[in-house]
Amino acid sequence: MVIELTTPLTEEVVRELRVGDQVAISGTVWGLRDATLIHWQRQGFEFPVDMREAVVLHTQPNVRREGNRWLPVCVGTTTSQRMDRFTRPLLERYRIRAILGKGGLSPDSARAMAEHGSVYLAVIGGAASVETLQIEEIEAVYWEHLMPECLWCFRVRHLGPLFVAIDARGANLHQEVAAEAQRRLEGLTASAGGDRQTAAKAGARP
Amino acid sequence: MTTATHGRVPAVSDAFYEVLEETACQAYVMALKDIPPDVRRGLAHAVERESSERAVAVMRTMLEAIELGDRDMLVCQDTGIPIYWVRIGTAAFVDGDRIRQAIETGVRRATLETPFRSSIVHPVERVNRQDSTGEGIPVLHFDFEPGIGHLSLLMMPKGSGSENWSFLRMLVPADGDEAIRSFALQAVVEAGGRACPPLVVGIGLGGSSDQCVSLAKIATARPVGQRHPDPKVAAFEEALLEDINTLGIGPQGLGGDTTALDVHVERAWTHNSMNPVAVNMQCWRGERRRARIAYDDLSVDWGYWW
């Protein structure tokens, strides 16, 4: 089942979501990335627009100019880890309700999401062609000198599939999967020379 | 300089460099839009075997994104660092400097004419020329094919998502080959969902440190499902693939049986007191394109691997 969400997202709606839920978003989503957030920090953590309770997406889009408008050529999602350090300040300053990205965020960001009532939604990274068709319009662009890492205002329709990867209780899907992978890795490497080695193909050598 | 001792070969015409520029340009754009058939088969096969419903949904979206590429869209927004491996057939004289210039111009044109985003910046100043070029970029690798009457190029636009998870370790000989396997597994776990799995994991063995990393990179370009010619290495690739796919990382790190589509090893001999291993990862799209330009009629043959 896909949960359809429409912006603005309320804290109440966000707190209902659970890790693993599949959702889609319609409405306004703000695009930002490394340089956008570095600049935000240098500006004393002030954006040129009101970002209270907004939904943000980790992105650096391919766009083209037509007259005074920007049109999407290819808009996809980037690895969130690089922007992880800005999660807590974003939530504290603006109570951002959802962050869309790929690859997950840290345990501290998950705690901040629980404290402030926010979720991390995993986009399918690399499937930007799908994402691009879900962007109806680029409504505004701020900090154009950072092109293409500006602050982008997108109007989206059924943006997804998105998977709740951190919920407002602080459950963190990427961390759970990573912890399990680490546990299995230890099993795989500890048994080297024993069961695993014989299970591997005879004569396998790099 | 062509000398009597090296034999005399005819030089290619000026038109050759124009075709090369056009081909380098097209190869970049095609790599971004046309996902290789072996990768498509690998993903489709993984969907059939996958036990996690979520992982299936993720990979179906990936297949949908690939189809949109067939309708002339860029599949990913990250147009990458442009890398070209060039193999120069030696049946004609080709000017190396003009090859470099033609490919650079091709990269610039692909970026500005498509148009797509330039991701290339100065490493400290972070200034972007907006044409996907810079000092040392595009990345060019040159090799030669004795007596062959064409030039081949293999183009890979390498995205940062997977490239940021690159690993080199100078193991010692006493660590043996078990340490190679462990190091590769650790690298995949450390990258987790951030390298955009399901991956093609490239492993470089031996050589000098830089050569080892380079081998890991070209290993990621070998088609999914194609094994190393040495049967022992081929068996190692298969066993490691099986191990990686028991880790449970899954597509996008959201869990599942499909963490890698394939594992490829490339090797070189090394120093007797060295045991270097490198791991490089390619994201699920496995983007690349190969072109071969004939010296005689300047015809271009397109493919996905040498």
CATH number for A88: 3.20.130.10
How confident is the model over B128-155, as pLDDT tens digits?
999 999 999 999 999 999 999 999 999 9
C-alpha span between A106 and B171 (Å, rounded):
30
Tell me, yes or no, whether A66 lies in a domain.
Answer: yes
Contact map slice: A 185-204 vs B, CB within 8 A: 185, 188-189, 192-193, 196, 200-204
Contact map slice: A 36-55 vs B, CB within 8 A: none
ipTM for the predicted complex comes to: 0.92
Pairing of strands B199-205, B167-171: unpaired
CA distances from B17 to A77, B90, B148, B190, B297 (A): 37, 16, 17, 43, 13
Tell me, yes or no, whether A36 lies in a domain.
Answer: yes
Contact map slice: B 186-225 vs A, CB within 8 A: 186, 189, 192-194, 196, 203, 205
Tell me, yes or no, whether A198 lies in a domain.
Answer: no
Tell me, yes or no, whether A47 lies in a domain.
Answer: yes
Tell me, yes or no, whether A186 lies in a domain.
Answer: no
Q: Where in chain B is the domain with CATH 3.30.1330?
A: 4-33+75-159+288-303
Contact check, Cβ <8 Å, B182/A192: yes
Tell me, yes or no, whether A140 lies in a domain.
Answer: yes
Contact check, Cβ <8 Å, A192/B178: yes
Tally of domains in chain A: 1
Name the average pLDDT for chain B: 96
Tokens of B83: 């890398």
Q: Per residue of chain A (206 residues), what is the pLDDT tens digit? A: 899 999 999 999 999 999 999 999 999 999 999 999 999 999 999 999 999 999 999 998 999 999 999 999 999 999 999 999 999 999 999 999 999 999 999 999 999 999 999 999 999 999 999 999 999 999 999 999 998 899 999 999 999 999 999 999 999 999 999 999 999 999 999 865 544 554 456 678 88
Taking one residue from A and the other from B, the number of pairs with CB-CB distance under 8 angstroms is 193
Contact map slice: B 90-119 vs A, CB within 8 A: 114-117, 119
Tell me, yes or no, whether A147 lies in a domain.
Answer: yes
Question: In which domain, by residue range, is A50 found?
Answer: 2-173
C-alpha span between A192 and A57 (Å, rounded):
42
Tell me, yes or no, whether A182 lies in a domain.
Answer: no
CATH architecture of B4-33+75-159+288-303: 2-Layer Sandwich (3.30)
In A, which residues are within 8 Å of B116 by CB distance?
62, 73-74
CA distances from B10 to A172, B3, B142, B251, B296 (A): 64, 12, 20, 51, 10
3-state secondary structure A87-116: HHHHHHHHCCCEEEEECCCCHHHHHHHHHH
